[in-house]
Structure 1
Amino acid sequence: MSVAGVDLGSAWCLIATAARGGVDVCLNEASARKNAAMVCFADGQRHIGLNAESVVRSNYLSTVNNMRNIIGRKFDEDDIPMQATFCGAELVPLEDGFVGVKVPYGDGEKVLRPEQVVASLLGHLHSVAANSKSGIVPRYTAIGIPSYYTDTQRRALLNACKIADVNCLQLIHESTAIALEYGIFRSARKEFPEDKETKVLFLDMGASDFTATVVAFRNGELRVLSSCSDRTLGGRLFDFAIAKKICADFKDKYKNLSGDPEKDKKTFYKVLQAAEKAKKTISPHGVDEAPIYIEFLMDDYDFSGALKLEEFNRLTADLIERIDGPIQQALSEAGIDSPAELDAVEVVGGASRIRAVKERFQQIIGDGCRITTTMNADETVTRGAAMACALLAPVVRSMPFDIKDVYPFPVQLHIEGGAEAMGDAKEDDDDEDDGGAAPASSGSAVQSLFDRGFTIGATRKLVLRRQSSFNVSTTYPETAHSNAAGGLPRNANTAIAQFSVAGVSQEGGSSKIKVFLGTDTSGIVRVKEAVALEPMPEEEKPAEEPAKDGEEMDVDKKEGEDSDAKESAPVKKRKFRRRELPVTTTAPGLTAAQLQEACELEQAMLAQDEERRQTANIKNDLEAYIYGQRDAIIDSLKEYITAEEKESFNKALMEMEDWLYDDGYDATKEVYLEKLAGLKKLGDPINARLFESQNRQKAADDLKSVIQSFMAVANSTESKYAHLGDDDRKTIRDEVSLAEDWLLAGLSNQSSLPLNQDPVITVAQMQERVQNIRRVCQPIASKPKPKPKPAAKAEPEPEPEPAKGENGDKGAEGGEEPMDSDPADENAGNEGKNADNAEEMDVEK
C-alpha cells in the first residue's frame, strides 16, 4: 500500500506517492507530471485534468478552475471578483452565502459547490496514481494547503475528500511541506549542527500567491518560526498585466470590434495564454523581447506584437514592490533583525523564475546570505506532502521527524454563561479538585483562546460549572481583517465553529466541567474532550482495634500529642470521577445531509462519466471499422470477397457512415454495439477467409509435426519406450492415423476451392486435432517404466552343532574351562522374573 501527497495548485495539480523506494511524482496518460487543475463540463460529461486541456478553448465558459482560491469562501469577500476572472464558469452566491459555480450538465444546468469540483480533481489524481502504480490506489493522503487557509476552508477541503472517498490524514501547509522536503534528507545525513538551530527562509511564489516562511532545523525536527503571505501575488498577475496591454493594443488597432476582448471571458482566456507564453519567454537572462501572436483573437482579426523587457518591468513594477511585505514581516515575527542572520534562503514556485522576481529577492536579502534553488520548483510541495503522509500513515515505516507548525490567525472563545477559568492543558492533568470555577452567569464571555502563531496541535483547558447543557463557540477576532501579510480579506467569514456540550446534570447543584480545546494536525479547531468531574465518596477509615493480650500499650504519650499529630496531618484533596460528555460541532459549510447528497451526486457523475467514456470508445470502434473495411475490400480483401458480397458490404458501410454523422451522432452505447455487430455479421466471414489463408499452412505444419512425433513413439524400439505394450502402441497409431487421413483429405479438398469461398478445413479445427492427439497420446508416451522387483534375500546357513565332549576336549587342550552354574543364581534369576511379572500385573489392575 502506498501513501500519497497532493499539491492542489491554482493552475496545476500533482500527486506523488511514497513507498519503500522513495517518493515518486506520478505521470498521467501523456507521461506528464503536471495535471491541469480544471474540470470542463461538455458533451454531457466531465473532462478532468489532461482531458480538460484538449477541450477547454472551445468550452471555456463551462470550465471550472481556480477552485483552490474559492473553496470555503463567502461570495461577498472582497477579492472574489478578481478570483472569478480566472474561472471560466460563472460564480454565483449560494443560499448560505458561500460561492457556488454554475455549469451545464445533462439537459440543463447545475450549481455545484467548490467542494464537489475539488472532489472531482482529487478522484482524478488518485486514478492517475493508480494507473502510474499498476493499479494500486493510495490508501492514505496528505494535501498541501496555503498557510492562510481559514478553518472553514480547511473543513471544506476535508469534505471534498469525503465526497471523493479519499482518506486524508492531514492538511499540511505548503510552506511546511517545502521545509520538510528540504530538511528530512539533510537531517538523515546529519547535516544540521547539534549546537544550534539552522534557520532557513523559504520564498515560494506560485501561480496565485506568495509566501515567505522562516523555519528552524535541527537533526530530526523542524520548527516553523513564522509564515506570511500575499494571497493574490502570483505569476498570473504578471500574465494579467501583459494581457491588459495586449487588449489595449488590439483595441487601438481595430476600432470597429464587436466587443471588448478584456470583458469576453473566452477571448480573454486566449489572451492570458499568450501572455503567459510571453512571460516565460522573456524571463531567462539574455532575452530582451518576446514575440506575441494570437490567431483569430476577435472578429476574425489576428493580433501580432512583441513585449520588450523594459515594458514588462514597467507593467509589473507595482507587483515587484509587493514582494517586500511578506518577507519583512516573516523575518520580524521570527525575531530575525537582518537577513545576514539566516543560514540559507531557498526559492521555489513556478513564478520565482521571473527575472525581476529573482532580482528583487536578491535586493532584499543582500549579500549576507546566498539564495539557492536546490529543490524542484514545481514538485516540492507534493513531495513534501507525501513525506508528511508517510510519517503519519501506519502502513509505512519511516524514520521519526518532529514537525512544529504555526497557525496563521488568532482565535477567540465565546463562552455562554459568562467568563470562566482558562489555562494550558497539561499532559498529567488529573481528576483532583484544581480550584474553584466560576458559576454560570448571564450573557457571554469572550476570551482569547490562541494568539497568532500558536503551535498547531496545542490544547487549552476551560474549567467551569454548569447545571445544564451549554455552548462554546470560536471565531476569528475582527483584528484578523488586516492589510498585513496573511490577514483575512474584508468581509471574510470569521465564524469557526460552535460546540454544544450536552449530558450535564448534577443533583443538588452544578457540575464542574473541563473542556479541552485545540487544533488537530490539519489546523482545525476542535473540542478534543469535555468531561464532568463528579465527586467520589470518601473512604471511611477503619476503627482502631483494642490492644490484644500480650501487646504493650503506649502509656507514655503526653497530653496533647494526639491533637498535635492531627493538626500536622496533610489536607487531602477531594477525588473526582471523570464522566465524558457528548459534544456536537456545528461549523459553516456543508451540513451532514448536504454532504451525503454531494457524495451520491459524485457517484452518479462517475457512473455517467464511465458510461460516456464507453460510449465514445464504441463509437470510435464503429467509425474505425467502417473506414478500415471500406479500404480493405479494395485492397487486402479483394481476392476473398465475391462481387455480390462486395456490393452489399460496401453499401452497408456507406449507409452506416451516413447514419453515424447524422442520426447516430449522439446515439447510446447499446445502439452503437448493435450497429457494429450488424456490420461484422457481413464482414467477419470475408475477414475469416483472409485469416484462414494466411494461417492455414502453419496450422497444418503444426499438426503434421505432432502426428510424426507420436507415430515415432509408437514405432520406436528405444529402451525408454520398451515398456509400452502392443495395446498402447495401437492406440497411438490409430489416433494419429485418423488425424493424418483427415488432414490430407481436408487439404486436398481445400486446394480445389477459390479464395473467395468459405474453407472446408479451418485453422481452429486443426488446432483442435492437435489438442485431441496430445490428450490421448501424451499420457501413454509419458507412462513411466515399471519398477524392478526387489531381489530375494539369501537365508544364512545354520551353523553346525558342536559334538559332545568337544568343550571338554578344548579345555583339556588348554582352552577355557566350562563354568558350572550355581542353582542359587538360577533361583535368583527366576525370582527377578517373577517380580517383574508381578509389577506388570499391578500396573494393569
Structure 2
Amino acid sequence: MSVVGFDVGNESCIVAVARQRGIDVVLNDESKRETPAIVCFGEKQRFIGTAGAASSTMNPKNSVSQIKRLLGRKFSDPAVQRDIQSFPFKVTEGPDESLLIHANYLGELRTFTPTQVLAMILSNLKSIAEKNLNAAVVDCCIGIPVYFNDLQRRAMLDASTIAGLHPLRLFHETTATALAYGIYKTDLPENDQINVAFVDAGHASMQVCIASYKKGQLKILAHSYDQSLGGRDFDEAIFKYFAAKFKDEYKIDVYQNARACIRLRAACEKLKKVLGANPEAPMNIECLMDEKDVRGFMKREEFEQISLPILERVKGPLEKALAEARLGQENIHSVEVVGSGSRIPAIIKILTDFFGKEPRRTMNASECVARGCALECAILSPTFKVREFQVHDSFPFSIALLWKETATDSGSGGTENQHSTAVFPKGNPIPSVKSLTFFRSGTFSVDVVYADAGDSQIPAKISTVTIGPFQLSARERAKVKAKVRLNLHGIVSIDSATVEYSKKKAKKTNIPAVETVYGALSSDELQKAIKKEFEMALQDRVMEETKDRKNAVEAYVYDMRNKLHDKYEAFVTTSEKDELIAKLQEVEDWLYEDGEDETMGVYVAKLEELRKQGTPIEERYSEWTERTPAIDQLDYCINSFRAAALSNDSKLDHIELAEKQKVVSECCEAEAWLREKQQQQDALPKYANPVLLSGDIKRKTEALDEFCKPIMTKPQPASPKGQTPGDQSQASELQNQGEDGPVESMAHEGSQVSPATDAEPMDTD
C-alpha cells in the first residue's frame, strides 16, 4: 500500500513518500525536487511537468499552466476573467458556465476541462512516485487550499480518479504544514497549549491558520485567506513596469507576442527572487522581441513602491485569523512562514510588525505541504505505524440546509414556507455527521447551500437532495431522518435517510436520497474522461518508445563507426568495413532527412538492417575476448579431476579404480577435443568466423563436471561396528577435509564462472 503525499501547486508540484526512516521528497526524471505544473500539447504527444516547461517557450499557446486557479470555477467569476487575460492559452465558456481550454493536439483543435488537465498533471506525479517506489501508487493524500469550495474539492477528486489515484484525504495545505511542524516536536506541553500562526504566502494566494498544540495533538483554531494575493501578483507588477519601460525605450510591445510575454514574466520572477536577498537587481534578455536585446534595473525600494497596493492587503487575512481564533497578538507563541512569497522582505516586515515578533523559517518553505500530506497518509494508512498524534481540522465555511413546507407537511393551513437550518457552522470539525428530522407526507427536496456566500468566488448552492418516495396512507405523516455528512475531504452530502411512520409501531425503513451536485461531473462524463486520458497516455507511450527506437538507431550508427576504427578493426575485412561504413553514413543521412519523423516500426526495421551487417563483427570480437577465460576454466577442470583420480590420496580409497579410470578417460577426451579445436582456431585470422566458440567450451566444461563430480565426491561408507570414538573422529575429519579439499575447490577456483555453476554445491556428507 502506497503512502504518498502530493502538493499540487499553482506553479509547481512536489511528491513526498513515507519510508520506515521518515518522509522523503521524491526526485523527478531530471533529478529535481519540484516539477512544473504545466501541460504542453504537441503535434504528436503531450509534454507534462519538466518536459512541458521546456516546450512551453516554443509553443506558448498550447501550454496550459496555473490550472489550479481554474478548477471548479465559473466562466463569469471575476477572478477567472482577470486570470485568463494573462494566459497565453485560450479559455472559453462551456455548458453551465464551465470552462473549456483550447489547444492544438495531434494536429487538430481540441478542448479540455480544467479537471482533465489537472488529471494529466496528477498522472505525471503518480508516475514519478511509482518510479521512485518501484511499486504501484493508488492511495495518497493531496493538499488543497483551505478556500476550495465543495465543487472544487469534488473536481480534485474527479481528477484523481481519472489519474488512477485514490485520495485517502484532501488535506488543507495550512493544516498539512502545521502537522509537518508539530509531529516532530518533543517539547509540547502536557496540559497547557501553545498557539502558532502559519502564514503560507504562495504563488497565487495567501493562507493563514492559527494552530494550538498539546502533546500528541494539533487543533486548528482558525483559517483565513486571500485567494488572489500571491507571488505571481508581485511578478505581474514587475512585468507591467518593464513592459511599459521597454515599450518606451525599445519601441516593442510584449503584449503582442505570447512568447515574449512568457520570457519577460520568467525574468521578472527571477528578478523578484534576487531582490529578496539583494538591494538591487539587473534584468538582461537577449532577443526578447523583434531581435532586440533589452536591459533593465530595479532597486528593492522601487519594487516595494510598485507593489504597495498588494502589500496593503497582507494584514487582512492576519487580522481575520486572530479574530476568529479569539486571540490577541500576545497569545501567539511563534509565527512560521512558508511559501514562495516568504522570500519577499516587505512581507516579512509586515508580519513582524503585526505579531510583534519576527517570523521563523524552521521548515522547508516549498516542501512542508507535501511532507505534511505524506504524514497524514501514513496516519490514515494501516501500512505504517506513526507516532500517536491527533489532527483536529476545521471547516472554513458555514453550511446550511434549505427546504420548503406546504400546508400538508406542517399540519396547518397557510401557504408554502421556506425554512433553513445551519448544520455545519464555520469552524466545524472535520469530519462530522449531523442528523435532521422532517415530518413529511411524501417525497421532498432539500438544498445544501453556503450560509454565508458573501465571497463572490463561492457559489450559493452546492446540491439538491431528493428524499423519497415512501408509502403513506391517507392523511398520514411520516418522520424522516436524514444523515448529513461532512467527510474528510470537506465535502457535504446527505448520504442516507430513514422513514418512521407515526401511526404504526416504530419501525425505521431506508428510503432513497438522490443527490444532484451543481457543476459536478456525472458518472458517464467521468468514465469518458478516464477513457480519454487512457488514450492520450497510450499515445504518449507510443511516441516515447518511437523516440527510444530512433535514438537507438542513431546511437548504433555512432558507436559502430567508432568501434570499426578501434576495437573491431582486426575483426573485419577491408571490404566489409568499407561497406558497413557506407551503410552507416547512408542511415545517418536518412535520420536527419526523410527519417526525421517516422513510425516506430520503421526505426526497428532500420536497426535490424544495420545489425545484420554489424552483428557478425561484434560476435567475432566477443568470441575472442571470452574464448581464453573459457579455455582456462576447462583446462583447470580437466587437470583437477584427472589429478584427483590419479592421486594416492587415502581419502579417495573408497572410490573404485574402474570409476576413477572413467574420470581419467573423460578428461583425456575433453582435452583432445580442446586441443584439436584450438589448432583449427589458431590457424584462422581474427576476421574469420571462429570454429572454437566460447559457448561450446562452457558446455564441454559443464558436461565434464556433471560426469566427474558425482564419482569423485562419492561419500565414504558408514563406519563398521566396534570402531573406537577416536576412529570415528578421524573418519569425520577426513570427510570434512574432503569437503574443503581439492575435489571441492576444483569447481570454484578463480573469478570465472565455475564448471558447477548450475549444479548444486558438492557435499561429501
TM-score between both structures, scaled by the size of structure 1: 0.81
Tell me which residue corresponds to 1:583: 513
Cα distance in structure 2, aligned partners of 1:438 and 1:173: 46
The one-letter amino acid of 1:271's match is: L
> What residue in structure 1 maps to residue 381 of structure 2?
393
1:278 alignment partner in structure 2: 271
Partner of residue 592 from structure 1, selected from 514, 523, 530: 523
Q: Secondary structure at the match of 1:54?
A: helix
Render the CA deviation track for 1:33-56: whole Å, top value 9, x for unaligned: 211111222242222223223322
Aligned to 1:515: 482
Query: Is 1:529 matched up with 2:496?
Result: yes
How far does residue 391 in structure 1 lie from its aligned partner after superposition?
A: 2.2
Percent identical: 33
Counterpart CA distance in 1 for 2:41 and 2:651 is 73
Find 2:245's aligned residue among 246, 249, 255. 249
1:330 aligns with 2:304: no
Q: Does 1:502 find its partner at 2:468?
A: yes
Letter in 2 for 1:516: K
Distance (whole Å) between structure 1 residues aligned to residue 233 and residue 703 of structure 2: 75
Partner of 2:6: 6
Instruction: State the 1:643 CA deviation.
Output: 2.1
The answer to whether residue 307 in structure 2 is matched with residue 308 in structure 1 is no
Give the equivalent residue in structure 2 for 1:468: 442
Q: What is the aligned partner in structure 1 of residue 330 from structure 2?
A: 340
TM-superposed deviation, 1:437: 8.8
| SS of equivalent residue, structure 1 residue 333 | helix
Unaligned runs of 5+ in 1: 422-435, 482-486, 538-574, 794-845
- Work out the CA distance in 1 between the residues paired with 2:348 and 2:117: 34
The residue identity in structure 1 corresponding to 2:196 is: V
Does residue 480 of the first structure (1) align with residue 435 of the second (2)?
A: no
Distance 1:113 1:735, change over 3 A: farther
Determine the C-alpha separation between the residues in 2 that align with 1:450 and 1:121.
33
Could you tell me how far apart the structure 2 residues matched to 1:356 and 1:124 are?
36
Deviation of 1:167 (Å): 1.3
In the alignment, which residue of structure 2 is the partner of 1:294?
A: 285
Residue 451 (1) aligns with residue 425 (2) = yes
Give the partner amino acid of 1:310: E
2:340 to 330, 350, 363: 350
**What's the secondary structure of 2:515's corresponding residue?**
strand
**Corresponding residue for residue 646 of structure 1:** 577
The answer for the alignment partner of 2:153 in structure 1 is 154
Which residues of 2 match residues 98-177 of structure 1 at below 5 A?
Answer: 98-133=98-133, 135-177=134-176
Aligned to 2:200: 204
Distance apart, 1:273 and its partner CA = 1.0
Give 1:416 shift. Answer: 4.1
**Matches of 1:771 and 1:56, distance apart in 2:** 59
Instruction: Tell me the CA shift for residue 290 of structure 1.
Output: 1.1
Cα distance in 1 for partners of 2:89, 2:478 equals 54
The verdict on how the C-alpha distance between 1:275 and 1:632 changes in structure 2, with shifts beyond 3 A counting, is: same
Structure 1 distance, partners of 2:704, 2:445, is: 85
Q: Given the superposition, is the C-alpha separation of residues 792 and 328 from structure 1 closer, same or farther in structure 2, using an over 3 Å criterion?
A: closer
Residue aligned with 2:570, SS: helix
- AA matched with 1:36: P
Instruction: Give ranges in structure 2 of 5+ residues lacking alignment.
Output: 725-765
Q: Which moved more, 1:507-516 or 1:268-277?
A: 507-516
Q: Which residue of 2 aligns with 1:723?
A: 654
Which residues of 2 match residues 391-430 of structure 1 at below 5 A?
Answer: 391-417=379-405
1:436-484 Cα offsets, whole Å, 9 max, x none, are 998997464344444333333333332212233222111235x523xxx
Deviations 1:111-169 (A, max 9, x none): 11121222222222222222222x13345211111111010000000111111111111
Contact 1:203–1:211 (CA under 8 A) maintained in structure 2: yes
- Residue matched to 1:566: none
Q: Secondary structure at the match of 2:429?
A: coil
User: Any conservation in 1 of the 2:2–2:140 contact (CA below 8 Å)?
Assistant: no
User: What is the Cα deviation at residue 326 of structure 1?
Assistant: 0.7
Decide whether the 8 Å contact of 2:188 with 2:213 is kept in 1. no
User: What is aligned with 1:48?
Assistant: 48
Q: 2: distance between equivalents of 1:207 and 1:634?
A: 56
Q: Contact 2:239–2:265 (CA<8 Å) still a contact in 1? A: yes
Partner of 1:842: none
Residue in 1 that maps onto 2:610: 679
1:706 maps to 637
1:744-803 deviation digits (Å, cap 9, x = unpaired): 12222222222221112122222222222222222222221222343599xxxxxxxxxx
SS at match of 1:325: helix
CA-CA distance at 1:584 after TM superposition: 1.8
Once the two structures are superposed, residues 507-536 of structure 1 have per-residue CA deviations (whole angstroms, 9 ceiling, x without a partner) of 342321011223111110111431111359
Structure 2 letter corresponding to 1:11: E
3-state SS, counterpart of residue 199 of structure 2: strand
**Aligned-pair distance for 1:87?**
4.4
Tell me how many residue pairs correspond in the alignment: 722
Among 612, 615, 619, the alignment partner of 1:688 is 619
Aligned partners of 2:204 and 2:413: how far apart in 1? Answer: 50
| 2:77 corresponds to | 77
Contact 2:351 2:358 in 1 (8 A): no
Alpha-carbon distance in structure 2 between the residues aligned to 1:437 and 1:128: 62
Deviation at 1:418, TM superposition (A): 5.0
Paired letter, 1:455: P
Q: What does residue 223 of structure 2 align with?
A: 227
2:354 corresponds in structure 1 to 364
Computing the radius of gyration from Cα coordinates, the structure with the larger value is 1
Pairwise CA distance, 1:325: 0.7
CA distance in 1, matches of 2:590, 2:412: 83
Aligned counterpart, 2:734: none
Runs of 4+ in 1 over 6 A off after TM superposition: 436-441
- Separation in 2 of the partners of 1:296 and 1:735? 80
Matched AA of 1:56: S
Residue 370 of structure 1 and its aligned partner are, at CA, apart by 4.5
C-alpha distance in 2 between matches for 1:50 and 1:445: 53
- Give 1:408 shift: 2.2
CA contact (8 A) 1:89 1:101 kept: yes
Q: CA deviation at 1:198?
A: 1.6
Q: Deviations over 1:574-609 (max 9, x none)?
A: x62221222222112211110000111112222222
> Could you tell me whether the CA contact under 8 Å between 1:437 and 1:464 is conserved in 2?
no
Distance in 1, Cα, partners of 2:111 & 2:610: 43
For the Cα contact (< 8 Å) 1:417–1:443, is it kept in 2?
yes
Distance 2:508 2:384 in 1: 36
Contact 1:65 1:88 survives alignment (8 Å): no
* Cα 1:739/1:443, change in 2 over 3 Å: farther
SS of alignment partner, residue 24 of structure 2:
strand
**Structure 1 pair 716/41, CA: closer, same or farther in 2 (3 Å)?**
farther
1:267 to 260, 282, 286: 260
CA distance in 1, matches of 2:361, 2:69: 26
Question: CA separation in 2, counterparts of 1:204 and 1:617?
Answer: 42
The alpha-carbon distance between structure 1 residues 689 and 20, as it changes in their structure 2 partners (threshold 3 A), is closer
Under a length normalisation based on structure 2, what TM-score does the superposition of the two structures give?
0.90
Q: 2:557 aligns with which of 626, 629, 650?
A: 626
Using the alignment, how far apart are the partners of 2:434 and 2:292 within structure 1?
65
Alpha-carbon contact 2:138-2:164 (below 8 Å) kept = no
The 1:780–1:500 alpha-carbon spacing in structure 2 relative to 1, beyond 3 Å, is: farther
CA distance in 1, matches of 2:589, 2:73: 51
